[in-house]
Amino acid sequence: MEKLWRIRAEIEVKPGDLDLEPGYTRGFMNVVTWATSDQTAQSKLADYLNTFRWKVLGVEESGAITDAFPHDSDMNDLVERAKGNPLAIILGTFHSYREG
C-alpha cells in the first residue's frame, strides 16, 4: 500500500537553474511523494529529477509520514499538496551551498 514519504536529499542542479549564483549548484531539499517503500520513493525522486538533468547526491533522511512525524509549516504545506494526488512529487525549497 502506498504511503506519503518524506525525503531530505542532497541534490545537484544544472548551472544556471533556479537563478542561483555561480558555484551554488548543490543543496538540500525536502520532498514528499507517494511510495510503497523507501527504495521506491528514492527511485521515484531520482527519476523525476533526471527529467531536469538534476541528480540526487545522497539522502540524509527518508521515511513514511505518520501522525507522530514532526511537521513544520513548510512540511505541512508539502504534505497537504501531495495528499490528494497519488502521482505527486512535491519539491520543497532548495537550500543551496557553495561547492568546494
Q: Say how far apart CA 20 and CA 75 lie, in whole Å.
A: 23
Lowest mean pLDDT of 19-23, 26-30, 32-36, 85-89, name the range: 19-23
pLDDT at 75 over 80: yes
pLDDT at 70 over 80: no
More confident call, 66 vs 43: 43
Give pLDDT, residue 7.
96
Closest to 81 (Cα-Cα) out of 30, 41, 19? 30
Give pLDDT, residue 69.
62
Do β-strands 95-97 and 26-35 pair in parallel, antiparallel, or remain unpaired? Answer: antiparallel
Domain count, the chain: 1
Q: Say how far apart CA 78 and CA 74 lie, in whole Å.
A: 7
Structural domain containing residue 34: 3-97
| Degrees to nearest 5, angle at CA 26 with 95 and 92 | 35
pLDDT at 45 over 70: yes
Q: How many CB atoms lie within 10 A of CB 96?
A: 18
